[in-house]
Amino acid sequence: MRFDRYEPVAWDGTWRERFKGWTKQQVLEFYWRETGYDTVGFKLLVNQGEGISDSFWRKHQPKVIALTRPNVIRTAVSELWAWHQGPDAWAGSAEQPTRPTAWTVDAQKLLSLAENYKAHNEHIEQWASWFGLESLSVTYDDILTDDDGYLLDASVNDRLCEYLNVEPLKLRAGITKRLPFALDNIISNWNEVEPQLRDKGYGSLLDEYGLERG
């Protein structure tokens, strides 16, 4: 983040100290007032955005990009893997993920997480409309990147620039798949888990990388 009237400062704790005691709305108002750019971006989780008054959004009318993870089963499996593996679950290079040793998954816990992520996606999609804001729906799959961190899909790149009304440029996101492997190859009790997922209507989300056992 660079400012016209302030020296650029990395988010290394300096800004945290500067804004100590400020409300989220005060911080955003500061950025809106002091930045020298026409386009300033913030990443807010839905629950963070809800802590800011309606009048703030209606006053500034920001353009909202609703970023979701449609494959809630994959998202839930990734979270379960992180719990299973511990703090070092995502250590190493994200560009070259290593196939994990298959582990046993609690189907009910997986389904519960998937339902939570499904509700979260719906919440994200609806949030902007509650404040009468313009929004663009984008998925994490849309913004997957190459080895240099640039978006793989040029059409998504152009769509984002057009939506934000900025000059065309190559966008970087650094988004890669953490577990790009067939689910039946990384879940040891897949024969027990799969029928329960299909019974709940998640069959279409299970074959993203193929099922190796047939």
Q: Per residue in 180-191, pLDDT tens?
A: 788 998 899 999
Quote the percentage of the chain above a pLDDT of 90: 32
Give just the sign of the alpha carbon dihedral 177, 181, 183, 189: negative
> Is the pLDDT assigned to residue 14 strictly greater than 70?
no
Pairwise CA distance, residues 131 & 124, whole Å: 13
Q: b vs e for 29-67, b when ≥16 Cβ sit within 10 Å of the residue's Cβ?
A: beeeeebeeeeeeeeeeeeebeebeeebbeeeebebbbb
Contact, 145 vs 151, CB < 8 A? Answer: yes
Check whether 63 has a pLDDT greater than 90.
Answer: no
Query: Higher-confidence residue: 179 or 38?
Result: 179
**HSE, side-chain direction, 13 A CA sphere, residue 51:** 12
Higher pLDDT, 201 or 175: 201
pLDDT, tens digit (0-9, with 9 covering 90-100), for 81-137: 888 877 665 555 445 566 778 899 999 999 999 999 999 999 989 988 988 899 999
**Residue 4 pLDDT:** 35
Tally the residues of the chain.
214
State the pLDDT at residue 173: 81
The residues facing 135 across adjacent strands are: 64
